């Protein structure tokens, strides 16, 4: 069995200033978003022909950062640990310790993209189709940040599993390194699917729909390897909170793909 390396969450200390690995992972996520977005604008004739510019990408990144941080933290507070943060309100702002909900960040980004779409006169789905392939690798870096922080550890695993890992501060049982599973599935695998799918012209809304289906399905699968939470309203019925929140993503994604190909969007 492997043992978690128990990384120091602080990557760099400069006097009173401490740079945390978790923050660096988010910085890496935003940087890869910009680099991939720039590549798409410069190398995809359809995007450049529709008027996308690197300047707009810069603005999108700014709006997206706000949506991810505000929505992700509020999602963690409201969806997953409302009782804890009600008792410790000062820790709501301590994002360097981890604790960012994907589904909350996703909703925050949707709101931010809606505001930006209104500002520049594009449709909401034009924006989401453009950014969908740029998101998964950022999700992967976020999960690596979870692994470095030693949070969101997995369920107990068979000791014979070659990569079973002990998280000493939890217990001495072998567990799935579920953070790395999610980095591989929701991050790398989803990126490959979306990047390849979006290289050809697709009906408006189709790429966004495939993102919803892909993320929702892969997150549903990954939840079977994460330590279970209490589910929605404390009632799991063997379905975790992450799965409850992913179910509407899958259903909306299926509907979106159907409507896109019928040109109803």
Dump pLDDT digits (tens) for 76-85: 887 777 777 8
Compute the distance between CA of residue 23 and CA of residue 15 in angstroms, rounded to an integer: 18
Based on the structure, what is the number of domains in the chain? 1
Single out the residue of 95, 55, 57 nearest to residue 74, CA to CA.
95
Which has more pLDDT, 184 or 95?
184
Domain that holds residue 212: 2-261
143 assigned ligand-binding residue: yes
Single out the residue of 29, 198, 17 nearest to residue 100, CA to CA.
29
Averaged over 126-134, what is the pLDDT? 96
Single out the residue of 40, 69, 44 nearest to residue 57, CA to CA.
40
Q: Which two tokens stand for residue 68?
A: 């991810």
pLDDT of residue 16: 84
Compute the distance between CA of residue 245 and CA of residue 150 in angstroms, rounded to an integer: 23
- Residue-wise pLDDT for 207-236, tens only, equals 999 999 999 999 999 999 998 765 554 444
pLDDT level of residue 193 (50, 70, 90 thresholds): very high
Are 97 and 108 contacting, i.e. CB atoms less than 8 angstroms apart?
no
108 φψ region: left (φ > 0), alpha (ψ -120 to 50), beta (else): alpha
pTM attached to this predicted model:
0.87
**Helices and strands (DSSP H and E) totals, the chain:** 11, 5
């Amino acid at each position: 069995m492997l043992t978690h390396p128990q990384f120091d969450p602080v990557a760099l200390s400069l006097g009173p200033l401490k740079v945390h690995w978790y923050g660096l992972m988010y910085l890496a996520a935003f940087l890869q978003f910009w680099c991939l977005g720039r590549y798409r604008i410069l190398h995809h004739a359809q995007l450049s022909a529709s008027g996308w510019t690197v300047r707009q990408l810069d603005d999108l990144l700014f709006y997206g950062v706000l949506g991810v941080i505000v929505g992700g933290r509020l999602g963690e507070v409201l969806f997953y640990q409302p009782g804890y943060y009600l008792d410790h309100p000062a820790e709501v702002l301590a994002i360097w310790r981890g604790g960012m909900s994907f589904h909350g960040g996703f909703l925050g980004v949707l709101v931010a993209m809606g505001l930006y779409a209104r500002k520049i006169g594009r449709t909401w789905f034009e924006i989401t189709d453009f950014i969908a392939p740029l998101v998964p690798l950022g999700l992967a870096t976020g999960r690596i940040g979870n692994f470095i922080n030693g949070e969101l550890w997995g369920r107990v695993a068979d000791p014979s599993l070659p990569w079973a890992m002990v998280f000493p501060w939890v217990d001495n049982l072998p567990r799935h390194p579920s953070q790395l599973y999610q980095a591989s599935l929701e991050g790398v695998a989803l990126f490959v699917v979306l990047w390849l799918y979006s290289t050809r012209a697709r009906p408006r809304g189709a790429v966004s729909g495939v993102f919803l289906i892909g993320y929702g399905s892969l997150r549903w699968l990954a939840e079977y390897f994460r330590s279970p939470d209490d589910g929605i309203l404390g009632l799991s019925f063997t379905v975790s909170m992450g799965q409850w929140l992913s179910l509407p993503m899958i259903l909306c994604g299926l509907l979106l793909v159907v409507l896109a190909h019928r040109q109803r969007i």
